[in-house]
């Protein structure tokens, strides 16, 4: 089996993309990143992709706006999803990695099982619509939990509900603010996403009939941070 | 500061009590267990207490039954709670440890901050009314999460919602059944409950105004299993 052909979807700064490229450059990723699609033309993630010589596409979310009043924006996700489908099905990618992609992607059934996402909490805690980015870590601190982490999961048509592939944990300390938690979780994400991609590349991730995954050899997968900070 | 005077509340087999006694016997617990209260006269936990020479009381939950029809039992928790209060306030215990206590204890304000509970999941996941014992681990397997753990928290008047003191994690493996998860989590509980009691005994646990705890030195508290099975 060769390396996976991967497309990355993003909407913002591209820190997750930058991490995947770093791991790839060190020889640690069983995947080539062949395309980056952004939902914002101004996303810094596009510049990272271009600097790395990766083909980019923009599917500008604002162009699909149906209405925007009183701060609530409604977009035509089905129309945007059809345009994403066209790009992604055309490229014959083995795997599509969401990396801070903030749009609802109602993808074609043909892509089922080939789209993964990373979420900066231990799903099913601190996830779902509106719970992304810094808000997650604010909620973690507010709730007073003593551990948090990140989750790589197969995407379905909802937010953060697809079958889980890998989770990694880290501590939450009593004097943490949300930025501290964000930084610590991001270190876990940097380990978890490449590890999950490599498990998929090796054929170790199997979707069971009941919406769970079976991961071969998962007794040997590190799930806990050894970081001290 | 001397050892804490502790009362343990239980309803069943007393495995958590047995663990606390084991740790105490090895010199690892900064607490004396002076009383065990059971909500069932037939609880095996009472026999464990008696074998260890600990005073026991029974506050039989079935005596507080208001109605029982179509499988739904309604009990007079306020009345039962008053009887528990009488016992626990009379004994001047420093700490009350719930250990598989399945009744709703609407304790006196005088006991606030002195009652702790252990729950076999990472709160706020897989907790709340009706989510106890084996049901927790069934839900964990059903959800397909890859990590779980246990939580020691200060009790409030709801189920599993009080401020968290300590959480410990362990893996969930793809081939686990709920019994496997229960056994692995129980090993974490055996570490977490004594650790939390000792933190309290040393004055390291502070309730912050906003329903969270501040735990001194929590960078040095182990939160992850090193077990391999």
Residues on chain A touching B160 (C-beta within 8 angstroms): none
- Quick one: average pLDDT of B185-208? 96
Q: Which two tokens stand for residue B3?
A: 């050892």
Of A122, A163, A214, the CB nearest to B122: A122
The full DSSP string for chain B is --PEEEEEEESS--HHHHHHHHHHHTT--SEEEEEEEESSTT-HHHHHHHHTT-EEEE--GGGGEEEEETTEEEE-HHHHHHHHHHHHHHTT-SEEEESS--S-----GGGTTSEEEEESS-TTSS-STT--THHHHHHHHHHT-SEEEEEEEE--SSSS-SPEEEEEEEE--TT--HHHHHHHHHHHHHHHHHHHHHHHHTT-EEE-TTS-EEETTGGGS--B-----
Residues on chain A touching B149 (C-beta within 8 angstroms): 147
Residue of B89, B113, B98 lying closest to B17 (CA atoms):
B98
Of A144, A210, A218, the CB nearest to B174: A218
Q: How far is A54 from chain B (nearest CA, A)?
A: 33
Report CB contact under 8 Å: B218, A123: no
Q: Is residue B139 over pLDDT 60?
A: yes
pLDDT at A228: 59
Distance of CA B132 to the CA centre of its chain: 11
Q: Is residue B227 very low, low, confident or very high in pLDDT (cuts 50, 70, 90)?
A: low
Q: Is residue B161 over pLDDT 90?
A: no
Question: Which residues, other chains included, contact B217 with Cβ-Cβ below 8 Å and sequence gap of 6+?
Answer: B204
Cα A13-A77-A162 angle, rounded to 5 deg: 75
Question: Which residues, other chains included, contact B114 with Cβ-Cβ below 8 Å and sequence gap of 6+?
Answer: B93, B94, B95, B96
The full DSSP string for chain A is --PEEEEEEESS--HHHHHHHHHHHTT--SEEEEEEEESSTT-HHHHHHHHTT-EEEE--GGGGEEEEETTEEEE-HHHHHHHHHHHHHHTT-SEEEESS--S-----GGGTTSEEEEESS-TTSS-STT--THHHHHHHHHHT-SEEEEEEEE--SSSS-SPEEEEEEEE--TT--HHHHHHHHHHHHHHHHHHHHHHHHTT-EEE-TTS-EEETTGGGS--B-----
Q: What are A71-85's pLDDT values in tens digits?
A: 788 999 999 999 999
Find out whether A11 and A38 touch, Cβ atoms under 8 Å: yes
Residue of B207, B202, B205 lying closest to B3 (CA atoms):
B202
Of B122, B143, B224, the CB nearest to A224: B224
Q: What is the ipTM of this complex?
A: 0.93
Identify the closest residue of chain A to B219 by CA–CA distance.
A173
Identify the closest residue of chain B to A216 by CA–CA distance.
B174
What separation in angstroms does the CA of B93 have from each of A175, A181, B10, B109, B199? 30, 36, 16, 14, 17
- Quick one: average pLDDT of B198-217? 93
Q: Is residue B104 very low, low, confident or very high in pLDDT (cuts 50, 70, 90)?
A: very high
pLDDT at B229: 61
Percent of chain A scoring above 70 in pLDDT: 97
Residue A153 bears catalytic tag: no
pLDDT at A130: 84
- Which residue, among B144, B199, B207, would best test binding to A if mutated, counting the most A CBs under 10 Å from its CB? B144
Residues comprising chain A, all counted: 229
Neighbours of A108 (CB within 10 A): 14
Q: Is residue A120 very low, low, confident or very high in pLDDT (cuts 50, 70, 90)?
A: very high
CA distance linking residue B156 with residue B37, whole number of Å:
19
Q: Which two tokens stand for residue A31?
A: 């995947």
Report CB contact under 8 Å: B145, A163: no
Q: Is residue A1 very low, low, confident or very high in pLDDT (cuts 50, 70, 90)?
A: very low
Q: Is residue B228 over pLDDT 80?
A: no
Report CB contact under 8 Å: A145, B163: no
CA distance linking residue A210 with residue B172, whole number of Å:
16
Q: Which residues of A touch B (CB under 8 A)?
A: 122-125, 143-147, 149, 151, 163-169, 171, 173-175, 210-216, 218-219, 221, 223-225, 228
Question: Which residues, other chains included, contact B163 with Cβ-Cβ below 8 Å and sequence gap of 6+?
Answer: A144, B153, B154, B156, B207, B208, B211, B212, B213
Percent of chain A scoring above 90 in pLDDT: 84
pLDDT at A215: 96
Identify the closest residue of chain B to A141 by CA–CA distance.
B212
CA distance linking residue B170 with residue B52, whole number of Å:
31
CA distance linking residue B76 with residue B159, whole number of Å:
16
CA distance linking residue B39 with residue B57, whole number of Å:
9
pLDDT at B1: 46
Single pTM value for the model: 0.93
Q: Is residue B31 over pLDDT 60?
A: yes
Residue of A161, A221, A193 lying closest to A17 (CA atoms):
A193
Q: How far is A26 from chain B (nearest CA, A)?
A: 27
Average pLDDT, chain A: 93
Report CB contact under 8 Å: A124, B144: no
């Amino acid at each position: 089996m060769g390396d996976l052909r991967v497309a990355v979807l993003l909407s913002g700064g591209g820190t997750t993309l930058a991490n995947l490229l770093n791991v790839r450059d060190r020889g640690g990723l069983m995947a080539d990143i062949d395309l980056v699609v952004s939902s914002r033309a101004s996303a810094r993630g596009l510049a990272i992709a271009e600097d790395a010589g990766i083909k980019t596409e923009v599917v500008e979310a604002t162009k699909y706006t149906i209405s925007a009043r009183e701060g609530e924006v409604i977009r035509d996700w089905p129309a945007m999803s059809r345009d994403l489908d066209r790009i992604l099905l055309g490229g014959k990618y083995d795997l599509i990695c969401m990396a801070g992609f903030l749009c609802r992607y109602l993808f074609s059934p043909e892509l089922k099982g080939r789209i993964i996402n990373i979420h900066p909490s231990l799903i099913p805690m601190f996830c779902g619509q509106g719970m992304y980015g810094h808000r997650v870590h604010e909620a973690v601190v507010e709730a007073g939990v003593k551990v948090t982490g990140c989750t790589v999961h197969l995407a379905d048509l909802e937010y953060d509900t697809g079958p889980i592939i890998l989770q990694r944990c880290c501590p939450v300390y009593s004097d943490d603010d949300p930025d501290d938690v964000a930084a610590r979780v991001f270190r876990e994400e940097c380990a978890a996403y490449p590890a999950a991609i490599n498990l998929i590349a090796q054929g170790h991730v199997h979707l069971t009939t009941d919406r769970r995954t079976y991961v071969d050899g998962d007794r040997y997968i590190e799930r806990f941070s050894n970081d001290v900070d």
